[in-house]
Amino acid sequence: MIFNLTAKKLISHDAETSSENLRENFVAFIKGLISFPLDIPGTAYHECLQGRKKAMKMLKNMLQERRMMPRKQNTDFYDYVLVELAKEETLLTEGIALDLMFVLLFASFETTSLALTVALKYLSDYPLVLQKLTEEHEAILKKRENPDSHLTWSEYKSMTFTFQFINETVRLANIVPGIFRKALKDVSYKGYTIPAGWGVMVCPPAVHLNPAKYENPLDFNPSRWEGGEINGVSKHFMAFGGGMRFCVGTDFTKVQMAVFLHCLVTKYRWNPVKGGNIVRTPGLQFPDGFHVQLSEKRSTKT
């Protein structure tokens, strides 16, 4: 659902009418993203490379088709890419544009879809958290002058407990198992020296599950964020990276999650049916999925 929405908005890709499955190529890429680099048929790494190759070919063909049949108005990312590529002194090349599109599609659906799945599981496992989240969103509906109006930015910014819930979800989910950086100069740490130029892998789970910072770190407790900074980044919370390489899609992800949660708890009830088991390979995965049965809530309008 998330991938189809993102692909449609970014590149006007319609999964139902397309002859090729763009999402399957991304799934193959993701499964072998962190794997032993053995490029022979049958390995996860080989499937990863093939998935990226096929996805890039599809994206290139779409770009070429758009070049041949340009639109009168700019409506998606490809339209703006073509405008930029046509400029004389542009720094953008076709290769860079396609790489950027690949990264945008990957980043905008993989982490968000997993985070929403984990969020749904936590809401199913912690009824008191679900009750508090529902109360916050039903209060938003009650304050509206027009009950049929859409969610507004001011309503989104008022979701205090929702932001606490999102932070706690991504803290425990640790969807990104590693963040890579490069030492620009010699760094001394606890008697060890990291030479300049060396690669460094930061492990967010080691930070997010640190009992010195988070009391009972394995417990799911959104209230631990009360009174603290819930929209920033620190050395103790790096679910969205940090420093100069802080994820540019952080706010977009939070908006997606908040809107999804708003619609979920105000319009639906659900019961887990099967799945929900989490494994890390090393990234977060639901090998059996997480199947729930949805039913609409009865309207409370009078």
Residues 239 and 93: their CA atoms lie apart, in Å, by 31
Q: What are phi and psi of 148, to 5 degrees?
A: -95, 5
Interval 75-112: pLDDT, tens: 788 888 888 888 888 888 888 888 888 888 887 777 78
Interval 227-266: pLDDT, tens: 776 565 667 887 777 666 666 667 778 888 999 999 999 9
Phi-psi category of 167—alpha, beta or left, where left has phi over 0 and alpha has psi -120 to 50? alpha
Interval 26-83: pLDDT, tens: 888 888 877 888 999 999 999 999 999 999 999 998 888 888 887 777 778 888 888 8
Which amino acid appears at position 277 of this protein? N
Q: Where are the alpha helices (DSSP H) in 158-249?
A: 160-173, 204-208
pTM over 0.85: no
Q: Which helix (H) or strand (E) holds 192?
A: strand 192-194
200: β partners = 181
DSSP character string of 141-155: HHH-SSTTPPP-HHH
Task: Retrieve residue 147's tokens.
Answer: 């009950």
